[in-house]
Amino acid sequence: MTRRNFLINLGYGVFLAASGLVAAMFARFLTPNIVTPSPGPVEIGTPDEYAVGSLTHVENARAYIGRDERGYYAVVAICTHLGCTPYVEGDEYACPCHGSRFARDGRALATPATRALDHAFVGRNANGKLFVDRSRTVDADYRLSV
């Protein structure tokens, strides 16, 4: 093998390796980490666990439970773009996968997500504990009264 052929083959090998890396990164970009628990009612604790003004992530409900002066509400922690789990950053939700941003009430602020985060039903069962039912979406103004 001549030096020229070796360098040509080396160039092709580097090109193929770089192309494979770009293809893998592109595939990762399009496939978010999605683990969705069952959407039925999930018990989230007692009402006194949530202070006025709080916003608490409840992993098994896959929702953020908030409480304001009007009552309890649940913002579903599933990005409306591709289903990643947004996190709280300051007074907003930020999606780690593609950069979507949402206001505290769930309104979409930055693309690629164009639809607001869903709100789930919050209720109180017979023993006084709160539950979230993601299978029942509600309006953003819905609150379980204090």
Q: 91 φ, ψ to 5°?
A: -110, 25
pTM of the model: 0.73
3-state secondary structure labels for all residues of 29-87: HHCCCCCCCCCCEEEEECHHHCCCCCEEEEHHHCEEEEEECCEEEEEECCCCCCCCCCE
C-alpha 53: how far from its chain's center?
Answer: 21
| Angle 94-90-134 from CA coordinates, rounded to 5° | 50
Say whether pLDDT at 19 is over 90: yes
Boundaries of every domain in the chain? 1-31, 41-138
In this prediction, residue 11 carries a pLDDT of: 96
Select 41-138's CATH number: 2.102.10.10, 3.30.230.10, 2.30.29.30, 1.10.150.120. Answer: 2.102.10.10
In this prediction, residue 32 carries a pLDDT of: 62
pLDDT tens readout for residues 110-129 = 988 889 999 999 999 999 99
CB 54 within 8 A of CB 146: no
In this prediction, residue 34 carries a pLDDT of: 61
As a whole number of angstroms, the distance between CA 46 and CA 34 comes to: 28
pLDDT tens readout for residues 34-84 = 655 556 899 999 999 999 999 999 998 899 999 999 999 999 999 988 888
